[in-house]
Amino acid sequence: MPSLRDVRSRIRSVQNIQKITNAMQVVAATKLRKAQQAVRATRPYAEKMLEVLETTAQRATEYRHPYLEKREGDSVLVILVTSDKGLAGALNSNTIRAVVRYVNQHHKGQARYVTLGRKGRDFLARYRRDIVADASGLKDRPGIAAILPAVAAAMEEYNEGRVDTILLAYARWVSTLRQEATVRTLLPFDIPDREEGAAPGADYIYEPEPEEVLDALLPRYVETQVYQAVLENQASFYSAQMVAMQNATKAAGDFIQDLTLTANKVRQETITAELMDIVGGAEALRASGR
Amino acid sequence: MAVPLRVVSVERSLFEGEVDGQGRPFLVCLGAEGELGILPRHAPLLTTLRPGPMLIRNGSEETELFVGGGFLEVLPDRVTVLADVAERAEEISEEAAEEARRRAQERLAGQLSPEEEAEMIHILETAEARLRLSRIRRGRPG
């Protein structure tokens, strides 16, 4: 049986933990809202970009940009987006597991990696994987400039033919309670065909030629995709952290309740034992006095 | 005649609204082939933009932006700018631009591969365009 003092100090320490997890939950909720706003802010640009890309690609049908050309080989580079910090449940391990499974299934041989986020980088470094570039320690709502060097390094690997495919892996935000580990092909890029019956694309005057405009558009589009993934991953991270902290706060509450019951039991038992002693003593006195 | 104009960067929207230049171009910017002024009923156009200032005119009100490159799409019923890293002119820090230019010039002095050189020239152009713009705003000559 633990002593009453031990149980009480245990209760206090669990209460302190509960205060922290509760505060983290509130902070995560606020940051989640901001991260969602950031994701929404990128949409107009990305949508317009895709629209212009579709129209331009239709005009430049003869031209095959390397980003649109499927290659024979199956060497692969993965742009792995994870969070920098933990305490967010299985978020990052789910993404990493999805990447490992995907690469093993579809690509023989060693994959190369560009990491955006400390968790993914540290995991890969521990297993001695080939990390080409890293941009970790991104702040909340980073500017696109923060990720450009890493994306440029990935595109260079592709341009020089060292890899035939670039994959993008991150935790897609579905809802506050659901984040989905996602692995998808970034390059080569499939320009979706215009829907049947949709208005034909505008017949622009191109300055310079459509081919050159396409040359400028495609890398921008790739950068935008990665940037969106980073922002969405942040939203997923704060969602996951919020839920994890909510669970932790609840678990701490249950634990405090259990410990309080134990403390009361210990206290009662002590009192009972003391009473028994007194009664026993009194009985013995009375017996000897007679 | 008012035309809907939208200037968006990947990080946020920089300008959105109907603009009317009242006979003068409602949008002036630096296109691939030189300076461009867009009037209503301009032919559909898609051009890349060079780093530089961009002027939006609505009646007597003028807004200046800085774009670090990007694309301009002119359609019969609307105009869209996809700006690379556009910032409002007020936000441009002259020191940061000066610093970037100094670094670029130092690099240019050394030996560079052609790609590096092209990149440096781009950084230099960007820094110079920023400096020009912030000087225009302060009303002293470059």
The DSSP secondary structure of chain A, one letter per residue, reads ---HHHHHHHHHHHHHHHHHHHHHHHHHHHHHHHHHHHHHHHHHHHHHHHHHHHHHHHHT-S---GGG---S---EEEEEE--SS--BTBHHHHHHHHHHHHHHHH--S--EEEEESHHHHHHHHHTT-EEEEE-----SS--GGGTHHHHHHHHHHHHTTS-SEEEEEEEEEEETTEEEEEEEEEES--PPPPPTTPPPPP-PEEES-HHHHHHHHHHHHHHHHHHHHHHHHHHHHHHHHHHHHHHHHHHHHHHHHHHHHHHHHHHHHHHHHHHHHHHHHHHHHHHHH-
Are A56 and B43 in contact (CB < 8 Å)?
no
Digits of tens for pLDDT over chain A (290 positions)? 688 899 999 999 999 999 999 999 999 999 999 999 999 999 999 989 988 888 888 777 777 788 888 888 888 999 999 999 989 889 999 999 999 999 988 887 778 999 999 999 999 988 888 888 888 888 888 888 788 888 888 888 899 888 999 999 999 999 989 999 999 999 888 776 655 445 555 678 888 888 888 888 888 899 999 999 999 999 999 999 999 999 999 999 999 999 999 999 999 999 999 999 999 999 999 888 76
Are A45 and B85 in contact (CB < 8 Å)?
no
| B7 contacts on A by Cβ (under 8 Å) | none
**Closest CB from B10, B13, B71 relative to A52:** B71
ipTM confidence: 0.73
| A208 contacts on B by Cβ (under 8 Å) | 32-33, 47-48
Q: Which fold has domain B3-89?
A: ATP Synthase; domain 1 (2.60.15)
B82 falls in which pLDDT band (50, 70, 90)?
very high
Task: Assess A26–B contact: CB distance below 8 Å, yes or no.
Answer: no
What are the extents of the domains in chain B?
3-89, 92-139
User: pTM for the whole thing?
Assistant: 0.80
pLDDT at B101 over 80: no
What is the structure's pLDDT at A197?
47
| B38 contacts on A by Cβ (under 8 Å) | none
What is the structure's pLDDT at A255?
95
